[in-house]
Amino acid sequence: MKANQRMEKIVIWGASGHAMVVTDIINLIGEYQIFGFIDDINPKRHGTSFLGHKILGGAEQLDWLMENGINKLIFGFGNNNARLRLTGLVKAKGFQLISAIHPKSIIAKNVNIAAGTVVAAGAVINSGSQIGENTIINTSSSVDHECIIGDGAHISPGAHLGGQVVVGQGSWIGIGACIIDHILIGSNSLIGAGSVVLENIPDNVVAYGNPAKTRKAR
């Protein structure tokens, strides 16, 4: 019997760029066998192959998967609000959310990472930080000591957070953004790429610039 036949099977929800990253991490970890992908966005792709695995269909496949003993799932797409919304659905159906943590990331021993989170290559999470459910800590980003990252948030590639930064639920920190120590980013807000955040940002806004300023509601 091959080793992958003894592994538990996992389904990845999403079948585009971020799903490629998640697939690579799952394969590197070697703990799960990818059974297939779910894609609710492009029905024409159902039944086709993606990264050597079948796109099974959309959300209508969840019951069939559970009936066949496949109850491990991870989200492989970047839409924060969709990840938050669908978490309740998959949990209600009995799925267990699995995290994917790249072996080339650096994570302090006393960091708490909730289920469903993706930590990409080169990411650093320092001591005392708390990472919420279904977050994305993306490529070469850094989260310094005692930060709190809310459920469904996304720290984009190359973004850097100082110590004791709080990022609210569903917020998105853009590529290359820098946030100084002790800053609070509200929920469902977007920080533009390359921004430098020197003051607190409220909920439900888009902020960008150097220094970052609130530009509009989100």
The per-residue pLDDT for 2 is 44
The per-residue pLDDT for 66 is 95
In a domain, 214, yes or no: no
The per-residue pLDDT for 4 is 56
The per-residue pLDDT for 91 is 95
Q: Tell me the pairing of strands 118-119 and 53-57.
A: unpaired
The per-residue pLDDT for 7 is 86
Domain boundary among 98, 123, 144: 98
The whole domain housing 39 covers 3-98
- pLDDT < 70 stretches in the chain: 1-5
Q: For 14-52, write each residue's pLDDT tens digit.
A: 999 999 999 999 999 999 999 999 999 999 999 999 999
Could you give the C-alpha distances from 97 to 75, 122, 148, 171, in angstroms and in order? 8, 23, 20, 20
E strand or H helix that includes residue 80: helix 80-92
Domain boundary among 57, 74, 98: 98
